[in-house]
Amino acid sequence: MITPRSGSVVFQNIKKQFGAFTAIHDLSLTIEPGQLVTLLGPSGCGKTTTLRMLAGLEHPSSGKILIGGKDVTMLPANERDVSMVFQSYALFPHMSSLDNVAYGLESSGLKKKEAREKAEEGLKLVGLAGMGGRLPAELSGGQQQRVAVARALVLEPQVLLLDEPLSNLDARLRRQVRTEIRELQQRLGFTAVYVTHDQDEALAVSDRIVIMKDGVIAQEGSPRDLYEAPASAFIADFMGEANVVSCDVISVDGADATIRIAGLEHRVPSRNAKPGPAKLAVRPNSITLEPASGAAYPGQITHAAYLGDHVEYEVETSTGRLFVVDPAVERALAPATEVAIGFKGRGIAIING
Amino acid sequence: MDHRNRRLDIVLGIGIAAFLLVPWYRIEGGFLGFGWFSGFPSEASVTPGILQILEYGRWWLTIPALIMAAAVAARFLRDPMQRGAVLAAAGAAGVLFLTLQGLAIGFSGWSWTISETLFGALADGQPSMGAGAVLSAVAFVLIFSFGLAERGVMKGDAFVVASIAMLVFLVAIFVFYPVGSMLVGAFQDFDGSFNPDGFTRNIQDNSIWSLGCVVGGERCGVAWRTLWLALMTAGGSTIMGLAFALVATRTRFPFKKGLRLLTVLPIITPPFVIGLALTLLFGRAGVITEWMSSLFGIEPGRWLYGLTGIWIAQVLSFTPISFLVLIGVVEGVSPSMEEASQTLRADRWRTFWRVSLPLMKPGIANAFLIGFIESMADFGNPLVLGGSHGVLSTEIFFAVVGSQNDPSRAAVLAIILLCFTLTAFLAQRYWLSGKNFATVTGKGDSGAHIALPRPVSIAVHAMVIPWMVFTIVIYGMILFGGFVKTWGLDNSLTLDHYARAFSVEMRDGALAWTGVAWNSFWTTIEIALISAPLTAAVGLLTAYLIVRQKFAGRNVFEFALMMSFAIPGTVIGISYIMAFNLPPLEMTGTALILIACFVFRNMPVGVRGGVAAMSQLDKSLDEASLTLRATSFRTIRKVILPLLRPAITAALVYSFVRAITSISAVIFLVSAEYNMATSYIVGLVENGEYGVAIAYSSMLIVVMIVVIAGFQLLVGERRLRRENRVAGVTTTPSLTLGQEKTA
């Protein structure tokens, strides 16, 4: 029986430099046992470096890393109780999938026979029973991915690391495999750290998401928190596109605040805002457009693109250019149409930066 | 901590054993003879380190013993960082001190006056280092590496740290120490004392630097003659190589397969064989000379013996190498460039001169520099054909073995030769690096190379066809020459030469190898078989470290290793006998020195091949293996090596064959007990026994063809099986082989 353990992970003031370049500035992060935490961010933000430091493939320049409460900062990769699924899967091309899965077990000192039995079990776990004799080149992309997951899981690590595990799959398969990974993680209850640059993927699989930018944590929280209450314009834009509009906070009363844009007042969640000038993140599908001229908040369509189930507009307004997604395909508006801008009740958040 | 302690315990055990259980100093009869068993441990010459201190007054050995004790004590420290620091310090101090005492104290006492004035005279000196000293040095290097690994150096990977440390240690001993000794030797007298007279006398010697030939009159100095020859050879072989490459890729020449076969020739031909064949054709008693004299009454001359003859032999020998380099370049020019040029209304002539040729320029320059280094380093051909008009490499040899026996002169000549080749090497590395336009991208580069312009096509055919015929005739002579009784005098066919060299008899029911060649033949095969796997192992390990590990000084490390390749064999030979003839390390006359010489001279090819093959292996394969709990040693064994099979085979074949064919360094290092085939053949030539020499040479060529064909068969099979498993790993072994041949 394969029963991965669930260890906690603690990063304490981690700093990582490559020569003169600082990849990670003072990162501190705690991951609770049994959670799937995603490191999300644009390329070059340090998310993969963080994962590799956890695996032991890079060593931090300063700071401490604890896995399951044990200091592993100086331990080499092969002495750490974690295992990793690589972006390229990194299946050994000269070994059958069974040998691939058994490899780590044999490295850990298991007898060849036991290792093979356990490897069989691992393949069964990911739905590849009976495929053990195939070489990686004889498997489809999705099957290779599953072999990679099985190879990591049979070691029953305290933490499973996944480095962009879906990026080599086509779009259709990606959705299916991410569901499988999440389902497996919840069934076996192991701790997992997942790196991706795709926010949809992050939203779909994570217990918590850590967004990184330029080597620091930009925001950390549940998928819902991050989407609905982004801390900055960067996060609002990264977690699904957002328009950032200047506004004035008129009054705050408990959970709600009243704000004014272009002379119109709206009520939005307050999120500790103080009265005064502020920024507002507005999701493209939270903006309504009505054909009208001389409206209170007027705009003019400069560009329209019909995309089947929705229409995308660019609208020039007094507060800048807005990007709008409108599901009303039946009344697609032509460029140069004058419109009145309105806001829906949700998808709007005051941000502090 | 468990296995850290285990590996440390093993090494500390070795370190303690080095002081207690094996003779500290060199055993005259050889350590592996175990003749020392009888006298051990009481006799002074075979006593272990600890008794050397206690009984024989070698007090300076207490210091490494104490350092070893400190390392043993450090093993029980709790704090890993502290423990690592102490271990690293002890290891470094141990290695340093052992080196220092080895250099400072010779047979009869202090080697340096400064230490004598500091510490007072010693009653007794010490012999060369033996098993104990060497073992303890190795143990110190490992202790040093484990200490660093425990401090988290190289991500705490002890195997990697230890490999780097050991390689640096070995390269320092077998490349830098000898070359350094040679440089020092230039300033020393016979007794080892400092005396710059020899250097100043030789460096200004007119026979080296004279420019007589330019101002008319006397001959030029040997340095200028060698330089001139090298430039001519490089030019000649590059032009011929380019012509061959163009014929092979851009024409409809019917014998392209045959052209490809040419590339194997330089690898399997002992370097002096071409010169030998030329004497059979054009020498005083050569076929063509006699024919000309009887037909046209042309007086047989000695024109072959001198720079002209050497030049012809070298161009013949090195054209295949330059062909090998240039065929990659010519093929590498993207056809789409040429097609683009044609769509831009350029005709074939303009396309060739304005697009194709400029794109090949860096490759051509590279071939030129390789030809230059080859010619400089060539020893076999000048030895056979040089006569009294020697070049640097042969002058070095005669300065040591000849009647003059002037080590200082040999050292000075070697330094001059080294300067020439290193300049070319540096030019190749820095000036040409990053200037390669011949791009083979992963993208499907469709299209075909255009045909050559007509005049160029005629010209290259006019060069290639006679040259091919000439090469065939030369090799025909080599194979045929062994069956002729006395060349030029009695041309009747005979098997005598083969019988003399390779006869086998049944005596008393046992097989007796009565031929004169068997002794050197079996020695050669034995040494080649021992050194080939070592060379491949060291080369590929180095390649792994260079490609896969990032460490401070990696570029210097790589540079130092590759540089050992630009050191001509004669220089290596002379520096080895200068360095390893006296304490602290005495190896002349043993098989060990031959093996060390082969390993460190041929290793760079393994490195090149390994680097090329390994850069095509996805790095995440290693990382995956590491995260799957495998050590880097297991990773190499289970993942990297199986995927590198073609590169390994290439390295094995190359180092095996090179060990058989090389002569330049070997001729200095052979002894009566360990004579190599090539130096034996040269001896035959010097005695005028051409028949046997030729017979032996063709035998060697046949043996090597069999070996290469056998390996090629094995590799070919491999490649079929793993065709689509790792895209692009299949490198052509012959290419990496040939590019790097220096005699």
Q: Looking at the DSSP assignment, which residues form a beta bridge with residue A193?
A: A37, A161
Q: Is B621 within 8 Å of A78 when comparing Cβ atoms?
A: no
> Which of B623, B628, B642 is nearest residue A151 as measured by Cβ atoms?
B628
Comparing A29 with B216, which gets the higher pLDDT? A29
* Predicted pLDDT of residue B661: 84
| CA dihedral for B267, B272, B276, B278, sign (positive or negative) | positive
Q: Is B625 within 8 Å of A93 when comparing Cβ atoms?
A: no
For A164-263, strand residue ranges (E) read 191-196, 208-213, 216-221, 243-253, 256-261
The residues in B 594-633 lying below 8 A from A, measured between CB atoms, are: 618, 620-621, 623-632
Binned at pLDDT 50, 70 and 90, residue B743 comes out as: very low
The structure tokens listed for B157 are 């990977």
**What pLDDT, in 10s, does the model give residues B576-596?**
888 888 777 877 778 888 898
Binned at pLDDT 50, 70 and 90, residue B3 comes out as: low
Q: How far is B33 from chain A (nearest CA, A)?
A: 39
pLDDT over threshold 60, residue B727 = no
Structural Rg of chain B based on CA atoms: 28
3-state secondary structure of B743: coil
Q: How far is B739 from chain A (nearest CA, A)?
A: 29
Q: Is A104 within 8 Å of B643 when comparing Cβ atoms?
A: no
**What pLDDT, in 10s, does the model give residues B636-652?**
888 888 888 777 887 88
Mean pLDDT of all residues belonging to chain B: 79
* Predicted pLDDT of residue A121: 92
- The Cα B679–Cα B672 span in angstroms is 11
Average the pLDDT over B12-21 and give the result.
86
The residues in A 87-126 lying below 8 A from B, measured between CB atoms, are: 87-88, 90-94, 103-104, 107-108
Q: How far is B147 from chain A (nearest CA, A)?
A: 13
B135-to-B140, B219, B662 alpha-carbon distances in Å = 9, 53, 31
Binned at pLDDT 50, 70 and 90, residue B443 comes out as: very low
Q: Which residues of B touch A75 (CB under 8 A)?
A: 156
* Predicted pLDDT of residue B367: 86
pLDDT over threshold 70, residue B435 = no
* Residues belonging to chain B: 743
The structure tokens listed for B623 are 């990382």
> Which of A87, A93, A104 is nearest residue B628 as measured by Cβ atoms?
A104
Q: Checking DSSP bridges between strand B505-507 and strand B490-493, what pairing results, if any?
A: unpaired
Q: Is A90 within 8 Å of B634 when comparing Cβ atoms?
A: no
Q: Is A75 within 8 Å of B631 when comparing Cβ atoms?
A: no
**CB of B407 closer than 8 Å to CB of B578:** yes
- The Cα B667–Cα B571 span in angstroms is 12
With CA atoms as reference, the chain A residue closest to B152 would be: A74
**What pLDDT, in 10s, does the model give residues B223-268?**
888 898 999 999 999 999 899 888 888 888 777 777 777 766 767 7
> Which of B623, B630, B638 is nearest residue A57 as measured by Cβ atoms?
B623
Average the pLDDT over B204-219 and give the result.
68
**CB of B380 closer than 8 Å to CB of B275:** yes
Q: Is A56 within 8 Å of B626 when comparing Cβ atoms?
A: yes
Q: pTM above the 0.90 mark?
A: no
Binned at pLDDT 50, 70 and 90, residue B442 comes out as: very low
- The Cα B583–Cα B181 span in angstroms is 12
> Which of A78, A94, A151 is nearest residue B642 as measured by Cβ atoms?
A94
Write the secondary structure of B206-269 as one string of H (helix), E (strand) and C (coil). HHHHCEHHHHCCCCECHHHHHHHHHHHHHHHHHHHHHHHHHHHHHCCCCCHHHHHHHCCHHHHC
* Predicted pLDDT of residue B441: 45
pLDDT over threshold 60, residue B375 = yes
Q: How far is A55 from chain B (nearest CA, A)?
A: 7
The residues in B 629-658 lying below 8 A from A, measured between CB atoms, are: 629-632, 634, 638-639, 642-643
